[in-house]
Amino acid sequence: MTIIKTENLTKIYSDGKVEVVALKDVSLEILSGEFIVIAGPSGSGKTTLLNLIGGLDKPTKGKVYLEGKDITVMKREELSDLRLRKIGFIFQAYNLIPVLTVFENVELPLVLLGIPEKERFERVMEVLKALGIAELVNKKPNEISGGQQQRVAIARAIVTEPAIVLADEPTAHLDSKTGGMLIDIMQEMNQTRRITFVICSHDPQVIQRARRLIKLRDGMVESDEKLW
């Protein structure tokens, strides 16, 4: 089943004088359960593509369909709702809310969804156990390591059981061992829970694990291959 489809996706940044083409005519189809790595050098348009797929940014031209619906025409509030229900985000810098505990950070999207307290508790604990960080529930983000913070970020992204998780350079701030463990976890979640992952990265150990590798260069798709 197709989850994401992009048609001639183009993004041009302009400051009035100079125009920079960040993405040009990218057409992709992402299927349910895929584990995709988007690779490419800095400035190749990886993050721009991810932001457009995630409804965080509007394209200059082209369309993004999420489960068949065109998200490029959606209003701000509709997009918020869509992100909450369908998309999980994992950022390079973890971006946990510093005043909330690990439990509360993971619980936050479920609160926004209006899920009752008891069910929230069960779902959060289940995800935290699956990620091996259940003992950290009462810690604040500044009390745990970078690798642990990124696991919490993964927990936050998958707790709502989204259609797709978008991760932007998730291992960039981690050492290679921790980064490798994290990719293992994402892969495990992909396989056991059938969560679709789209990961932007130029980390070789992330690229190695890709089941489908999309290479971008100068805002265009250089190659798109299924590896295994």
Stretch that binds another protein, among 17-25, 26-34, 53-61, 183-191 (CB under 8 A): 53-61
Both structure tokens of 48? 């721009």
- How far is it, in rounded angstroms, from Cα 1 to Cα 191? 16
Should residue 173 be labelled a site residue for another protein when binding is judged by CB under 8 A?
no
Site residues for another protein, 185-204, by CB under 8 A, read none
Nearer CB in complex with another protein: 73/112: 112
Residue in 95, 94, 98 with CA at minimum distance from that of residue 142: 98
Stretch that binds another protein, among 30-38, 94-102, 188-196, 203-211 (CB under 8 A): 94-102
Both structure tokens of 196? 């679709």
Should residue 109 be labelled a site residue for another protein when binding is judged by CB under 8 A?
yes
Residue in 45, 46, 48 with CA at minimum distance from that of residue 58: 48
User: Do the Cβ atoms of 209 and 36 come closer than 8 Å?
Assistant: no
Q: What is the number of other CB atoms lying within 10 angstroms of the CB of residue 9?
A: 25
Nearer CB in complex with another protein: 90/210: 90
- The nearest distance, CB 47 to another protein, in angstroms, is 9
Contact footprint for another protein (CB under 8 A): 51, 54, 56-57, 76-77, 80-85, 88-89, 91, 95, 97-100, 104, 107-109, 111-112, 156
